[in-house]
Chains A and B, each alone.
Chain A
């Protein structure tokens, strides 16, 4: 059976349980694909072949004995900022080039105990700071739809790997769009859950109040299954929320009749590529045909989300990344003269340009004399954005709009101008600031490049968001399209 890569996660899990094939076969086939396409895509930073096969054998034993969890034996890849015990966790940075975590992130541990087999760690923008995967110390990831283009970021490796069917599903994280934007640019499904839905313990922090772990898959139903296995309260994460995890997979299939969909006026602005917009509006008609009702809503403060984000996220990152000082772990410069020299050179050598830019921005906005004007003001505007969303959700069930203003862009096209790069996240950042669940699903193509549709719901409405995405995918086939050469 060599059609593993065109199967869904659910099909693979069911096949394993039915003993149609073994986990060793399955894992071996995907490892082979990863290795075959690594040079072209650079989607992985580490491939853990021997550990994966060992875990697959273990999964097979467990399946043979009739035991095993929902994901026993299925392959998965983790974004390289989830700490994995005994396997290096680089965060896409030179700083952690040789960092081997002594512990597993909660997400990693949960998925392992559900039986998933890790094939490797995926490439990413350095410390998740970037929208194109070009800030990785380990080189850019290439978009499987066109290797001259970026896959998006920061979870570019996970997105490219899933889009190229190198792995059925992958974990990812989203601080300002890092799951949804690459999902859109790679033509796959990406879910960022409610802030607090998935434990952040063991996820190397970028911006603590915005970071949220989530999933990249080829379809919403797989996302539902994977989220079910990784979500939940974690006593090690004070910001995780003790709300019961529903069976997202079982909840799929409710009709959309009567669903009130809010169209975000601010999302259909002049920055939106006209072709992109056309695809999104086509998708809206599908929802209408499924019985949903469309109403236009306005979130007046939403256009401020990019400036707010670029104060709050750098502020938190400037503090979160202070621990990389060369003292206990990570890169330490050669022969430091004294303590300050060690700090300066270890950090100077260990961090790349974008990370430094954000550390400096964050340090600046928290400094005495600027704190009120920047950080505090940004927090106030953030509250206004939250309030806008709350108000919108009083009258609609979900909000809908494009995930990105344009399809994938060329590698190198935006690196010279950070602001242009930052504007790529203009439609995704709002959900992070407000802590809302949001999903991006493929909704068409512009010049052979995938376009993403974004669905945002109220807090802890993952089931509703997934159901809407699933219904759309039942009615369309965009999500089944694989890039040429990877089908």
Chain B
């Protein structure tokens, strides 16, 4: 296995979050009844003409600037010709020789913590096709053109990834980026963010690429990883058993966990690309590009570096917190209201909060637990009102009740006992209740110290200040 090196490139399709389609005024909202969002332009009626949506152009420029790419001041739409029932005009309007974005870079963090730079060959604008429906239509095919004409940006990477994990890291990075830029909702179930993976293998040290297979339409990070790994294994096995990889398009079957051929290049279409005479070349002025640049939000890489520095977080923690703009904003809101311990805040956001959100399949922006409330909890931990352990109980009550930490602490009487006399009294009672354990401890069974801590905690409903308890108990037991 180590004698082989996989070579992977990704073509990511991100659906742009414009309100209307790329060449028509139809809405792009997901889930409308079939063909309710298809006007004459989307239907490819005789005589209709495309008109470019300026917002789609602005979004593509945003992406290009965010990956330090070259923005073309002159780009051209081309027709990609092929027949398919869900392709109403018989051609897809895309960009071919002159894309709007070229030569960008995306940095990914590898498992060992090092950074790897992946080249982005190009990113171009194009329209999506519709879809064919078969369910409930025996012997017939239905055509839904709601999606036809939805704006996409196709982001093509260099073949610079060397493992499925790198590919996933790259795809996640792009996913984060497009959501930061607010140019794509990133919804993978609805197909707003999907990719094709080009996979080949070669002997380690070989400089020439092997023959590649293209795995189409992967719409989850898990599928990307599994499909690539399967494909790598398949190709190596094939070559080692004397066969050769065929250049072809394959589909990943998530149920079987395997890829299988869709069509081979020999029978592939000759798309007969040529510049679309219905659309003028897109000419961008520097002032426009600069205005878009000025509108860019703080980008993920910059934010991660700032979090590490400003909040003394590890690169890992910073990376998790900046994964979405909403999560990062939430974290910063918490820290602003409870600035004593940013690391503690990070632990809570990434730990309890993330787990609770995950369990209910919610997003941080759902508002179920406000940053102010979580900060309130952290303040009570910080000032010793409650212990970390009690804090988890308080958190649960806050989560389910939507109330502040102080309200929970008051109503449940969870305030930590810091009165030494009270703790001593509890210790005395426990010692009196367990004479045999006390005798064993005195005889040298040191392990029983924990037993006494537990019993006192139980007696105080966990409210005894742990540090004080330890201190007092040790004194008593040795006294």
Verify if B143 is at the interface (C-beta below 8 Å from A): yes
- The answer to whether B47 touches A83 (Cβ under 8 A) is yes
- The answer to whether B277 touches A316 (Cβ under 8 A) is yes
Q: B24-50 interface mask toward A, CB cutoff 8 Å, 1 = contact, 0 = none? A: 000000000000000010011111111
Cβ contacts under 8 Å, A82 to chain B: 47
Near A by CB (< 8 A), chain B positions 43-89 give: 43-52, 79, 81, 83, 85, 88-89
**Cross-interface CB contact of A238 among B85, B90, B273, B280, cutoff 8 Å:** B280
- The answer to whether B79 touches A101 (Cβ under 8 A) is no
What's the Cα separation between A319 and B85 when bound, in Å?
15
**Cross-interface CB contact of B270 among A83, A316, A368, cutoff 8 Å:** A368
What's the Cα separation between A487 and B416 when bound, in Å?
111
- The answer to whether B90 touches A375 (Cβ under 8 A) is no
What's the Cα separation between A329 and B48 when bound, in Å?
14
Verify if B223 is at the interface (C-beta below 8 Å from A): no
Cβ contacts under 8 Å, B278 to chain A: 205, 208, 238-239
Verify if B359 is at the interface (C-beta below 8 Å from A): no
Among the 9-residue stretches A156-164, A195-203, A216-224, the one with 4 or more Cβ atoms under 8 Å from chain B is: A195-203
Q: B263-286 interface mask toward A, CB cutoff 8 Å, 1 = contact, 0 = none? A: 000000010111001111000000
Cβ contacts under 8 Å, B272 to chain A: 318-319, 363, 366-368, 371
What's the Cα separation between A322 and B83 when bound, in Å?
7
Verify if B311 is at the interface (C-beta below 8 Å from A): no
* Given A238-B52, A328-B88, A102 and B45 contact (CB-CB distance below 8 Å): yes
* Given A238-B280, A319-B79, A323-B89, A371 and B274 contact (CB-CB distance below 8 Å): yes
Verify if A21 is at the interface (C-beta below 8 Å from B): no
Verify if B449 is at the interface (C-beta below 8 Å from A): no
Cβ contacts under 8 Å, B47 to chain A: 81-83, 101, 105, 200-205
- Nearest B residue to A367, CB-CB: B270
Interface of B is mostly: loop
Verify if B221 is at the interface (C-beta below 8 Å from A): no
Cβ contacts under 8 Å, A329 to chain B: 45-46
Verify if B230 is at the interface (C-beta below 8 Å from A): no
Verify if A146 is at the interface (C-beta below 8 Å from B): no
- Nearest A residue to B143, CB-CB: A327
- The answer to whether B90 touches A323 (Cβ under 8 A) is yes
**How near does chain A come to B144, taking the closest CB pair, in angstroms?**
12
- The answer to whether B43 touches A328 (Cβ under 8 A) is yes
Verify if B441 is at the interface (C-beta below 8 Å from A): no
Verify if A133 is at the interface (C-beta below 8 Å from B): no
Cβ contacts under 8 Å, B89 to chain A: 322-323
* Given A319-B91, A322-B81, A366 and B274 contact (CB-CB distance below 8 Å): yes
Cβ contacts under 8 Å, A371 to chain B: 272, 274
- The answer to whether A323 touches B274 (Cβ under 8 A) is no
- The answer to whether B51 touches A235 (Cβ under 8 A) is yes
What's the Cα separation between A215 and B245 when bound, in Å?
61
What's the Cα separation between A83 and B81 when bound, in Å?
24
- The answer to whether A99 touches B46 (Cβ under 8 A) is yes
Cβ contacts under 8 Å, A319 to chain B: 79, 81, 90-91, 272, 274
- The answer to whether A327 touches B85 (Cβ under 8 A) is yes
Cβ contacts under 8 Å, B48 to chain A: 201-202, 236
**How near does chain B come to A41, taking the closest CB pair, in angstroms?**
26
Known: A204-B46, A208-B277. 18 other contacts (CB 8 A): A96-B46, A103-B40, A103-B45, A200-B47, A202-B48, A235-B51, A238-B51, A239-B279, A318-B272, A319-B90, A321-B90, A324-B46, A328-B43, A328-B45, A339-B85, A366-B272, A366-B273, A367-B270
Footprint of B on A, CB under 8 Å?
81-83, 89, 91, 96, 99, 101-103, 105, 200-205, 207-209, 235-239, 315-316, 318-319, 321-325, 327-330, 339, 343, 363, 366-368, 371, 375
15 contacts between A and B (CB under 8 A): A99-B46, A101-B46, A101-B47, A102-B40, A209-B277, A237-B49, A239-B278, A239-B279, A316-B277, A324-B46, A327-B85, A327-B143, A328-B45, A367-B272, A368-B270
* A-B CB proximity, top 8 nearest: A322-B90, A366-B272, A209-B277, A208-B277, A202-B47, A204-B46, A323-B44, A83-B47
